[in-house]
C-alpha cells in the first residue's frame, strides 16, 4: 500500500473514523498512532522480518498492523473492541497475512496461538499498548512461558524508565527486577503526545524487551525471590531487614536476614533498592535455606 494511503497519514485516520462514526473509548486506552516515523521505528526496533509471526495486541483501526503486515510473514492481531471489526475489515482488506481475533488479550491462550501460527517457534510481540493494563500484559506474557523472541511495545515513558532502571536509580523497583529477570530492556524511542489521536495526557516510549533463553541468575525458588523483591520495594525507605521482617508475604525473622546479608558481604542497614537482581536471587537462596533449617530443628 502506498504510504500516503496508510492510516499513519492523519487525513486517512480522520476519514475512517468519520466514515464509521467511531467513538474513542477511554476505558480501552484508545490512542491511535498518526506518525509514520514512529511506526517505522517500532518495526525496526522489533527487527520484524519476512520469517516472523507477530502477535499484535490492540490493533485499533489497524495503523501499526498495516506496517507489520508488510514486514512480517504473519500477523495475528487481538482486539477487544467489537466495534472496530468492520473498520479493520476495510483497512486490512488488502493484506492476506493478517488474522484479527476479537478477544481480551488477558484471556487468550497465547501458547496455543504460537503453536497454531508459528509451529511453537518464538514469536514477536509488537503493540502500542492500552496503558491501563501494561504490567499485567507484559508480566502475563513472561510468566506464561510462551516462546517469545522479543516484546516491542509503546508504553508510558515513566513505565519504560522503570523497566530499564538499575540499582541506584530512583526509577528502580519491583517492576525493573521482574522485567530484567525475563528480558533485556532497551528504550528504542521516546514518543511525544502529538503522535497520537486523541492526544494522551502522558508522554510515551517504545521499549524492546529481548527475552532471555534462560534467566540470567539462578534462584532455588522464583516465587520466594519475587515475594522478597515486592517486600523490599513496598517499604523502600526502610532497611531491607525491617522491610522483609514486616512483610505479611514472608515469614523470616530479623536474625535470619542479618545472617544472610552478612554472608553476602552486605551492610546490615542496606536498603532493598541497592540490591541487584543477582543479589535478590542469592538472598532468596539463603532465606529458603534458613527456613528449611528451621523446619529441621
Binding site for ligand SAM (CB under 6 A): 28-33, 57-60, 63-64, 78-81, 104-106, 128, 130, 133
Nearer to ligand SAM among residue 29 and residue 272 (C-beta):
29
Please report how close the Cβ of residue 59 comes to ligand SAM at its closest, in angstroms.
5
Q: Could you tell me the smallest distance in angstroms from the CB atom of residue 226 to ligand SAM?
A: 24
Which residues make beta-bridge pairs with 196? Answer: 33
What is the nearest approach in angstroms of ligand SAM to the Cβ of residue 190?
16
Residue nearest to ligand SAM (CB): 58
In whole angstroms, the minimum distance from the beta carbon of 196 to ligand SAM comes to 7
Q: Least CB distance from residue 184 to ligand SAM, whole Å? A: 24
Three-state SS across the chain?
A: CCHHHCCCCHHHHHHHHHHCCCCCCHHHCCCEECCHHHHHHHHHHHCCCCCCEEEEECCCCCHHHHHHHHHCCEEEEEECCHHHHHHHHHHCCCCCCEEEEECCHHHCCHHHHHHHHHCCCCEEEEEECCHHHHHHHHHHHHHCCCCEEEEEEEEEHHHHHHHHCCCCCCCCCHHHHHHHHHEEEEEEEEECHHHEECCCCCCEEEEEEEECCCCCCCCCCHHHHHHHHHHHHHCCCCCHHHHHHHCCCCCCCHHHHHHHHHHCCCCCCCCHHHCCHHHHHHHHHHHHHHHHHHHHC
Distances (CA, A) of 80 to 56, 57, 58, 103: 12, 9, 7, 5
With 0-12 / 13-18 / 19 or more C-beta atoms within 10 angstroms meaning exposed / middle / buried, residue 200 is middle
35/221 with CB nearer ligand SAM: 35
In this complex, which beta carbon is closest to ligand SAM, that of residue 72 or of residue 287? 72
Of 28 and 95, which has the nearer Cβ to ligand SAM? 28
For residues 13 and 7, give the distance between their C-alpha atoms in angstroms, rounded to a whole number. Answer: 5
C-beta closer to ligand SAM: residue 31 or 245: 31
State the minimum distance, in angstroms, from the CB of residue 261 to ligand SAM: 41
98 or 243: whose CB is closer to ligand SAM? 98
CA 104 to chain CA centroid, nearest Å: 16
Specify the residue, 105 or 113, whose C-beta has the smaller distance to ligand SAM. Answer: 105
Q: How far is the CB of 103 from ligand SAM (least distance, A)?
A: 7
Nearer to ligand SAM by Cβ, of 100 and 282: the residue is 100
**CB 29 to ligand SAM: min, Å:** 5
Amino acid at each position: 500500500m502506498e504510504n500516503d494511503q496508510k492510516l499513519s497519514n492523519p487525513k486517512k485516520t480522520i476519514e475512517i473514523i468519520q466514515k464509521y462514526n467511531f467513538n474513542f473509548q477511554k476505558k480501552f486506552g484508545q490512542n491511535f498512532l498518526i506518525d509514520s516515523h514512529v511506526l517505522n521505528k517500532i518495526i525496526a526496533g522489533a527487527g520484524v522480518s519476512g520469517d516472523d509471526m507477530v502477535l499484535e495486541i490492540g490493533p485499533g483501526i489497524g495503523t501499526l498492523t498495516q506496517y507489520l503486515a508488510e514486514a512480517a510473514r504473519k500477523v495475528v492481531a487481538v482486539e477487544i473492541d467489537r466495534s472496530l471489526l468492520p473498520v479493520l475489515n476495510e483497512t486490512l482488506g488488502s493484506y492476506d497475512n493478517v488474522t484479527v481475533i476479537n478477544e481480551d488479550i488477558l484471556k487468550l491462550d497465547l501458547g496455543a496461538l504460537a503453536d497454531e501460527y508459528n509451529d511453537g517457534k518464538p514469536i514477536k510481540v509488537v503493540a502500542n499498548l492500552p496503558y491501563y493494563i501494561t504490567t499485567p500484559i507484559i508480566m502475563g506474557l513472561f510468566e506464561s512461558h510462551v516462546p517469545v523472541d522479543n516484546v516491542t511495545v509503546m508504553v508510558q515513558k515513566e513505565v519504560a524508565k522503570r523497566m530499564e532502571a538499575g540499582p541506584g536509580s530512583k526509577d528502580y523497583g519491583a517492576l525493573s527486577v521482574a522485567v530484567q529477570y525475563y528480558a533485556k530492556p532497551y528504550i528504542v524511542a521516546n514518543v511525544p503526545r502529538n503522535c497520537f489521536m486523541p492526544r494522551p495526557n502522558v508522554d510515551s516510549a517504545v521499549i524492546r524487551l529481548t527475552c532471555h533463553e534462560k534467566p540470567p541468575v539462578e534462584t532455588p525458588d522464583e516465587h520466594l525471590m519475587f515475594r522478597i523483591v515486592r517486600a523490599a520495594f513496598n517499604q523502600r525507605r526502610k532497611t531491607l531487614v525491617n522491610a522483609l521482617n514486616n512483610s505479611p508475604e514472608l515469614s523470616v525473622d530479623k536474625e535470619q536476614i542479618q545472617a544472610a546479608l552478612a554472608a553476602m558481604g552486605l551492610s546490615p542497614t542496606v536498603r532493598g533498592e541497592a540490591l541487584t537482581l543477582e543479589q535478590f536471587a542469592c538472598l532468596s537462596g539463603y532465606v529458603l535455606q534458613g527456613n528449611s533449617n528451621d523446619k529441621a530443628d
